[in-house]
Amino acid sequence: MIPENVKKILEELPEGVQLVAAAKARMPEEILQAVEAGVKYIGENYVQEAREAFKLVGHQAKWHFIGHLQTNKAKKAVEIFDMIETVDSVRLAREIDKRCSAIDKVMPVLVEINSGREPQKFGILPEEAESFIREIVQFENLKIMGLMTMGPAFGDPEKARPNFIETRKTFEKIKALDIPNVEMKYLSMGMTNSYQIALQEGANIVRIGTKIFGPRESKIL
């Protein structure tokens, strides 16, 4: 099933759109199957889980961190990840910078936008994105490359559209500012239930789990 699912999604995605296979709660063997079927980017929410899968899959794919990164996990995270999609505080940015500096690495990052303005969700409010980026651009071992947003995970996917539109507008606004050392290239939006809408609204990274691997046993987000 996994290889067929991957091939189908890759065929239907427009040129230039990256598929990140959201792999939380999956077995390393399942992730390897997806990679062998053509997945080039794996999204992980938990550093420890990623380390287990990395032992099997290694550099056959690139690793995107898509969960909430705690600062005390940053050291281990920067060792394996190729991109951190969820930078949401100056404190975290500083820690990633420090840990990357120690291993001589420059980490591509996306800024997580709390487009739903939900107080319980992580991320920077759209109107604060510019000042946030102007603040973290000082960190030389970070490379700001775009924005990421979650949107509602369940229910009518049309409900996510306004969130995607607002994130896209924020993306374009920051891009137009041409801030030195900021390269607004990636807009990561959309999951299994909402990626078609996200694509219509300008996403060029989609993070898909269920449609590749099947339903998760538990609804962990």
| Chain residues that interact with ligand PLP, rule: CB under 6 A | 22, 24, 45, 66, 150, 153, 191-193, 207-210, 221
Q: Which is nearer to ligand PLP, 109 or 141 (CB)?
A: 109
- Least CB distance from residue 201 to ligand PLP, whole Å? 16
Judged by DSSP in three states, 146 sits in strand
Sign (positive or negative) of CA dihedral 167, 170, 176, 182: negative
Q: Which is nearer to ligand PLP, 92 or 141 (CB)?
A: 92
Q: Which is nearer to ligand PLP, 75 or 121 (CB)?
A: 121
Sign (positive or negative) of CA dihedral 6, 9, 14, 16: negative
* Cα–Cα distances in angstroms (integers) from residue 114 to residues 35, 81, 143, 168, in the given order: 30, 22, 20, 12
CB 208 within 8 A of CB 195: yes
Q: Which is nearer to ligand PLP, 108 or 209 (CB)?
A: 209
- Least CB distance from residue 91 to ligand PLP, whole Å? 20
- Least CB distance from residue 177 to ligand PLP, whole Å? 26
Residue with the CB atom nearest ligand PLP in the bound state: 209
- Least CB distance from residue 186 to ligand PLP, whole Å? 14
Q: What six digits make up the tokens of 178?
A: 């041409």
Q: What six digits make up the tokens of 219?
A: 């609804």
